Amino acid sequence: MNILLKTKLHISATGIYMEAAHWLVEHSQATTSNGGQRDNNAVNSPQTAAETAEQAVGERRWEATEAEAAADRQDTTAGESSLPASVPRPRDDFQEELVIRPLHSGDIYASFQFRTVWETDFMKGNKVSHYRLFPKSLGQVISKFSVRELHISFTQGYWRTMRWGQPYQPSPPGAELWVWFQDSVTDVDGTSAQCVLQTAGYRQRDGPPIPSLCHPPREIVCTENLTPWKKLLPCGSKAGLAVLLKSEKLFHSSFHSQAGKREWSLFKMFSRTLTEACPLASSSKIYIDVTDNPQGDQFEVSPATPLLSQAVVLGDRRTFSVYDLTQQITFGTVRSLNLLIRWKSSEGDMLRPLLHAERYVAGYGLQTGEIHTLMYNNHPYRSFPVLLLDSVPWYLRLYIHTLTVTSKGKDNKPSYIHYQPSKDRVRPHLLEMLIQLPPNSVTEVTVQFERALLKWTEYTPDPNHGFYVGSSVISSLVPSIVAMDTNSTQERPLFSSFFPCKEESSYFVRVYTEPLLVNLPTPDFSMPYNVICLTCTVVAVGYGSLYNLLTRSFQIEEPSPGLAKRIANIIRKMRGVPPL
């Protein structure tokens, strides 16, 4: 059984950036016998199926990358390859890498990956007590709750797919936690709640536990989150790539956010340069994506490196320059590596991503509204299906009969709809749809909702801020760009495009829409005292006396006459005269 700790951080340079950290603990199918059970799960829930698919794709991708990188290494540096062979391979292994991708918008996309693989068995009864590279705190959570897979991400900001293209690993704004349990776990709700509380040690605040998917959109990355996260790495932030993640620089400094394309360097962005790899890491590399820069006319990278690597990433064949930090030669004579990217041309248009999505709330007033989800298929001639997963809190009462799906002005009937209605205060709406997106089109999904009036103790301390609705998740197998260009003029062996390769013909993408902020009808919380006073007054004075007037019958009571009058009347009576 493998345990894999992948940690990752995206940073994009010019001003706007997004950041995410992932722990992905997975029990790879190759070394365990759990594969079959996992497939069973996949049949039960389409979401799990998609998730599994993604991991499969992810695994392949990274194996390919590593294989090629290794090949490169062997080709160019002969001495290095003998090192792993002579030392017996330890049972746990740590790798770190940084991928830098200069975007056409002039932004720089930097993605950190830290991976710890540990071949051990948590589940076989014997308590694991010795931890070397793998963080103990995480290991305990995994063994205690029989977690099969754990996936946590914190994200701040929003990944602008339109401008920056697909990220290597997408995640929704806020925090997201996916957990898959072993089959031995029966009480999923209880266990997941406990599990959430345990993992909450890594973050500041906790959202309500939702069975196996926890997604509080307001949870954001901050220094308090990043520091414990860095502690999970074998070298901490003392050595290796993690030294770049100085929180004060990441969170408090200006990101040279001039518009237009400027010079970029590691030092400018992180106020650090690299001097060594993490000594515990078996591999420590920096990749720079130079695919769009074949002749060096877009930008110039210095120091130059002879190492190149190719990989198919997100359906596109990319070329990377590789800097191996385990090699002293990388750091040169000054013993420090400060990568520099100098833009040469200010032009260049980003190829629009084939699939992206946006979402917004339409309408006004505090009674009803409408959620619009727009999904763009920018492929010129291929249509492809997407799986749209929406989890909407119960306090937006979805009118599911108003659900419409339209593409190109025509009704687009989803081939599969799964809807789980919400229960007030218990569970959210869950809406899953399989929709075919026609080529070069916008598909719009709309559904109306009513805003619920909460109980007064259910409002958050800042109710006028509004309530968040988490991102919808769009998962799809998108036709790859490699398969798209039929008349390629690039120098490639002819046979490579003769039969379209199945692996490359489509790739898995998960797109997150922006979260929504919805205002609910909110009472004025300074009013209860006034309201109580007023209500009591109205009830006591107004209603009481009105009720009195309406229900009683009144009779005129003769007032008892005065003494003089009474005497006079007695006299009159005696005289036989009518009384006064």
Partner 1 sequence: MGLLSDPNRRRALISLLTRLNAPICVVCYMAGVAWFMGLAFEPFTLRTYMSENAMGSTMVEERFPSGERALATGREFSAHKKRAGGMPVDWLVKTMQARGLEVFTQRFSRTLPFPDENKERYMVKGTNVYGILRAPRAPRTEALVLSAPCTPGDNNNQAVGLLLGLAQYFRNQIFWAKDIIFLVNEHDLIGMQAWLEGYHHTNTTGMDWSPLQGRGGSIQAALSLELSSDVITSMDLVLEGLNGQLPNLDLANLFYAFCQKIGVLCTIQGKLQRNDWDSVSGYSHSVQTMMLMVMKQASGRPWGDHGLFLRYHIEAATVRGINSFRQYKTDTTTIGRLLEGMYRKLNNLLERLHQSYFFYLMPSLSHFVSIGYYMPAFGLLAVILLLRALDLWVQLATPPQRTEDGVPDTEQMSSPGVLSVLTPLVISHLTGVALYTLPIQFQEMAVEHFPVSETEAVVLTAIAVYTAGLALPHNTHRLLSGEGTEQGWKVLKLVAVLYLAVLLGCTALINFSLGFILALTLVPVAAFVTPHVPKVLSAFILVILSPACTLLFSVFFFQELQEVPTSFQEGWLLYLSVISQGILDHFLYGSLVYPLIALLVYPCWLLFWNILFWK
Q: By the criterion CB under 8 A, which residues form the site for partner 1?
A: 14-17, 155-158, 160, 163, 173-174, 217, 220, 253-255, 257-260, 358, 360-366, 370, 372, 462-466, 468, 514-519, 522, 524, 541, 545-546, 548-549, 552, 554, 556
- The answer to whether the bond into 303 is cis (omega within 30° of 0) is yes
Nearer to partner 1, 272 or 372 (CB): 372
Give CA 352 to chain center in angstroms. 21
Contacts of 419 (CB under 8 A, 6+ apart): 400, 429, 430, 431, 432
Q: Compute the distance between CA of residue 424 and CA of residue 429 in angstroms, rounded to an integer.
A: 10
Which residues are within 8 A (CB) of 448 and not within 5 positions of it... i.e. 6 or more apart?
368, 369, 370, 371, 398, 399, 402
The DSSP call for residue 451 is: E
Min CB(464)–partner 1 separation in Å:
4
Cα–Cα dist 305/339, whole Å: 11
Nearer to partner 1, 462 or 491 (CB): 462
Q: Which is nearer to partner 1, 491 or 557 (CB)?
A: 557
CA dist 431 and 111 (Å) reads 32
Beta bridge partners of 572: none
Q: Which is nearer to partner 1, 386 or 518 (CB)?
A: 518
Least Cα distance to 208 among 457, 451, 466, 428 occurs for 428
Nearer to partner 1, 163 or 418 (CB): 163
The nearest distance, CB 250 to partner 1, in angstroms, is 10
> C-beta of 467: minimal distance to partner 1 in Å?
11
Kindly state the smallest distance separating residue 299's Cβ from partner 1, in Å.
19
CB of 360 to partner 1, least distance (A): 5
Using the minimum distance from each CB to partner 1, give the nearer residue, 209 or 515.
515
C-beta closer to partner 1: residue 416 or 547: 547
Measuring CA to CA, which residue among 465, 570, 459 is closest to residue 525? 459
Q: How many other C-beta atoms lie within 10 A of the C-beta of residue 323? A: 23
CB of 13 to partner 1, least distance (A): 11
Unique residue bearing structure tokens 């991928």: 99
Report, in Å, the least distance between residue 158 CB and partner 1.
4
Q: Considering only CA atoms, give the Rg of the chain.
A: 33
